[in-house]
Each structure stands twice: as structure tokens, then as C-alpha cells.
Amino acid sequence: MRPRDLACTAVLAAVAGGMPFAAASAAMPAAVSGTRVPSLAPMIRKVSPAVVTIAIRGITPDGGANDPLREDPFYNRFFHGPLGQSADEQPFAAAGSGVIVDAKHGYILTNAHVVDHATSITVTLQDGRNLNARVIGADPPSDIAVVQVTAAGLRQIRLGDSARLAVGDFVVAIGNPFGLPHSVTSGIVSGLKRSGFSPDDYENYIQTDASINPGNSGGALVDLEGELVGVNTALLSASGDNIGIGFAIPVNTARRVMRQLIEHGAVHRGQLGISLYAVTPAVARSLGLHEAAGGIVTQVIPGSPAEKAGVRAGDVVTAIEGHRVGSNTDLRTAIELLRVGDGVSIDLLRDGRRQRRHATLADTLPRTPAHAAARAPRPSGAGLGRSPSALPQ
């Protein structure tokens, strides 16, 4: 066997056996021409103990028969077992990632889709310990879940501020892609406030070219200071392969969801009761507006907080609680975690005049035929994480 073949065989054997390996020849020199070469290694060593592998076993209601991801060979290989598994087989095993955010109480952030339909959850720490975990709460609209373990010597990550991120910032993704624990990839923030994948969900994604693959779901997206800035959740791909477009949930969103899940076991979002259409340049011209900004109100649910506040169809909403809005996604982001009974200010234009209205968010909205149609269940396969172009990771 040639030396190169022997080396490759040794590496593959180490990976297959779950054993760590070191490639000394691939390491960067400590210095070049007397100048120290920057390295992410110190930060990775500090952060990695807070990143965990999450393995689940569970039962899906339909055995995954309506899940288009079953057709993807990588998904079947690493998540649903051998290819050709019958849709009638209800049990399944899956794997993802998580991040310890509270060592004292054993709280771990992950994705809701990672623990969906789980009957048992095992968390594996970097030191090799396997711990039983329980779900504290899961919020599918934001795709955030909190699980809890009981153990001594846990290490938690420091939470950053995703509002300070800018396109071009360097970030690092850490997780369990394809069953390879504590894999590290690096890249930059490629975009912010990405949305439009799933109309009924709360989307405000960080886009990154740091490689995110199946198994990275729930893992850490950290900045160069080692602070958690996002929870990895999906990649954009037609085949399931990474093409350099991955998405993470901003840590500021994850933090707010986590607090409600820990306190209440669920997220209680306030409802306003309007639908918006973005003001395009053409719409702005037709309305005599000076700029294409805001969202025109296309629907006000009768009896809703918005109607009680005096909002009308045709109004142009420019801001809610000081947050600029131009679409339903912006609207949901502005009030995503405001609670029932919270008051909100609504800045709008009516007949060219600026107005401010005040509404009190409700728990539920009155049901109307139009509203029921708008909130009808989506067909299986629609939306982020269930379409061939955007796969949960």
C-alpha cells in the first residue's frame, strides 16, 4: 500500500471509530518571518466544551411518509437509517447539536426540529459523558427548543449580541455534521434578516458561508470572541449538499424564546391582526409617497387589536414599536415575542398625514373566513426545513 493510501486509511479509520486524530503536518506554523500567525484554536478550545451532540429516538405520526427529505441519500444515511426504509416504520433515530447556555441548571439550546417527536434524548459532552435529557419546551415557529440535563462540571457559552453583527464579520460554526462531533467551520456573515422561506414562521435569519451540514442543527455560530451569536438551523440546497449558504437564528431571538420556554414551557405571542404588503416604488408612486418604505395594510381582522386601535385597510404602516416594517415578516419580527396584554405603538401614514395609534396585543384573534383561509395548514413539503431547497440541519 502506498504511503498516501495508508495515511488516508488511518484517517478514515479514526473517523469511523469516533477516535480523535491529529494531522501535525497540516498545522500552520506558529510564525512566519517572525510574525505570529493568527489562530482560532484558543477560542475554539474555550468554546467547544459548551457544544454538545444530541441523539434522539422517537416516533413520527406518519413514519415520515410525507417528508421529502427521505428521498435525499445523505438524510437517509445519517438520520433515518438504511435506504429503502418503509414509510410504515414509525420509530426513527436522528442526531443534531446543542449549546449549553446555563451550566448551573443544565439548560441547552437547540432547534425545535431536532427534538421533534422525540421519546428519548441523549446528550454527549465533549468529554465523552452521555447524559439523559428532557425537553423543557419547544417553539416550532422560531425553531428553538430548550432541553435540560443534570451533571456536574458543565461548561456554558457566553451569549453575544446578534444586533451588532454586520455583513462581513467573521464567524465560526461548531456542531455535529454527519456524525462528526465538534467539527469546526469558519466563514463570514453573508447576509442578515433573511426571510421568506416559510410564510407562517418567525424568520430573521443570519446567512453565513461557514459550512453547515446535516447534524449541525442546533449548534453554535460564534464570533471571534467566542460569544454565541446564532443557533445554526438550515442550509439552502437543492440536493442536500452544502453550497455555502447556511442560516442561523440570531441569539437575541433565541434568548427571548428561551426565557419564555423556561418560564412557561411555551411561547405566548401577542396578536395584532393586520396583514401588510410591501410598498414598492410603483405602489409609492400611486399613493403619492415620497419613498418606497413601509407596508400597506391589506387586511384588518374584525374585532382585532388593530381594528380597535383604529387601523384601516389602505393605511401605510411605517413602524411598530419603533421598528421599521415593510412586510408581514417585519411585522412578525417587531412583535414576535411581545406578550399578550403588551401595548404597542403603530406609526402610519393616512392620506399623507403621519399618525400614531396604540394597540394592546391579544392572545387570539377573532376567526373570520378570510382569516381562517390565510392561516390554513400548509401542504406537506412547504416552508423552510420541508422543501427541497431549504433543508433543516
Q: Cβ contacts of residue 358 below 8 Å, gap of 6+?
A: 309, 343, 344, 345, 346
Contact call for residues 287 and 277 (beta carbons, < 8 A): no
Catalytic option among 217, 237, 275, 304: 217
d(CA 300, CA 53): 45
Is 113 labeled as catalytic in the residue annotation?
A: yes
Characterize 338-366 residue by residue with b for buried, 16 or more Cβ atoms within 10 angstroms of its Cβ, and e for exposed: beeeeebebbbbeeeeeeebebebbeebe
Q: At CA 315, angle to CA 203 and CA 331, rounded to 5?
A: 10
* Pairwise CA distance, residues 34 & 39, whole Å: 15
- Rounded Cα gap, residues 291 and 111, in angstroms: 39
Return the H-helix or E-strand segment holding 335: helix 328-335
Q: Look-up: residue for cell 403603530?
A: 346
Is residue 387 flagged as an active site residue?
Answer: no
CB-based contacts of 369, cutoff 8 Å, min separation 6: none
Q: Which helix (H) or strand (E) holds 247?
A: strand 246-250
Residue with grid cell 479509520, as numbered in its chain: 13
201 is catalytic: no
Out of 67, 72, 139, 143, which one is annotated catalytic?
Answer: 143
Q: Is the dihedral of CA 244, 241, 23, 17 positive or negative?
A: positive
Q: Out of 67, 72, 80, 113, which one is annotated catalytic?
A: 113
Of 122, 109, 100, which is closest to residue 56 (Cα–Cα)? 122
What is the sign, positive or negative, of the torsion defined by CA atoms of 379, 385, 386, 390? Answer: positive
Show which residues are catalytic: 113, 143, 217
